[in-house]
Amino acid sequence: MCIDIGDRVPNVEEGYQVTTTSVGQNPGPMTRSVFTLKREDATDMFGDDEYIRYGQKVRIASSDYLFRKALSLSSAKHSPTICAPVSGKQVAFMSASRADANGCWIIDHVDP
């Protein structure tokens, strides 16, 4: 997943497009493709250590060197005015607006 700072998401308050590349096109780690997982709650049912586990709520943040504001991965419900440009479905984007429920993710195992 890479962030396109020059490509804004229409009808979303300060949102920037994210894109993916296929295996053959992967350029490797760079500022726009490096992310940090940050725990949503400092203390939860798993305790207060620095480890992230399946089932925990996290925020996915961009590199601090990418943009003048902190960006985190968010999602907006599909509507007639907000949708992904290629699929026309729900859109995921990097948001500079304040943290809300649309940017909270849960780490889940592929085979729960």
pLDDT at 59: 92
Mean pLDDT of 23-52: 81
pTM of the model: 0.75
Give pLDDT tens digits for 5-17: 777 777 778 888 8
Separation CA 64–CA 61 (nearest Å): 8
Any idea which of 26-35, 58-67, 102-111 has the lowest mean pLDDT? Answer: 26-35
pLDDT at 33: 79
Q: Where are the domains of the chain?
A: 2-106
Separation CA 71–CA 12 (nearest Å): 14
Give pLDDT tens digits for 42-64: 888 888 888 888 989 999 998 88
